[in-house]
Amino acid sequence: MRMTSQRSIILDEIRKTHAHPTADEVYVLVRRRLPRVSLATVYRNLDVLTRAGLIRTVELGGCPRRYDGRVDDHIHVRCLECGRVDDVADALLARARSRVEKVSGYSISGHHLEFAGVCPDCQRRARGRRRRKNAES
């Protein structure tokens, strides 16, 4: 794998943020430093970097993929209001995995756990809206 300037800038941007950007968002970030880059190059390299184990691809059912500079095991929690994705450390997962392996007979090589709900910011916003609404009524 050649480390071209495009590739290393894409890797750098992914590692710099903790926001789990989509391919489009990575494209925007990378274009600030490399205005002539192609979206195809971004997709290609996100894939190459994932297969090289340098980043993680985060598959979120029903919405565009996101990419993650953290490659250690962790859980994602997604906000149903604003779409942000945050990290949560986990320990139970290893236990669950071995249990699933035993019960199902599968040889497990990976998992994908995502909780969905409303993030603290959006909860606050919602409380604000409710209060304002009550006040005016």
Partner DNA sequence: CATGCGAATGATAACCGCTATCGGAACGGC
Partner DNA sequence: GCCGTTCCGATAGCGGTTATCATTCGCATG
Residue 32 touches which of Zn ion, DNA, a second copy, none (CB < 5 to 8 A by kind)? none
Contact 74, 111 (CB under 8 A): no
**87, containing H or E segment:** strand 85-88
Task: In whole angstroms, give the CA distance from residue 87 to residue 127.
Answer: 24
- CA torsion 84-23-28-13 (nearest 10°) is 80
Contact 46, 11 (CB under 8 A): no
Of the residues 15, 17, 47, 75, which one makes contact with DNA according to CB under 7 A: 47
**44 vs 97, beta carbon nearer DNA:** 44
Under the binding rule (CB under 7 A), the answer on residue 45 touching DNA is yes
20 dihedral zone (left: phi>0; alpha: psi -120 to 50; beta): left
Of the residues 2, 36, 95, 133, which one makes contact with a second copy according to CB under 8 A: 95
Of the residues 52, 100, 129, 131, which one makes contact with a second copy according to CB under 8 A: 100
Which x/- pattern, by CB under 7 A, does the window 7-26 give for DNA?
x--------------xxx--
Tokens of 98: 């071995």
- Provide the binding-site residues for DNA, judged by CB under 7 A: 1-7, 22-24, 34, 36-41, 43-45, 47-48, 64-65
- Provide the binding-site residues for a second copy, judged by CB under 8 A: 58-62, 65, 75, 77, 79-80, 86, 88-90, 92-93, 95-97, 99-101, 103-120, 123
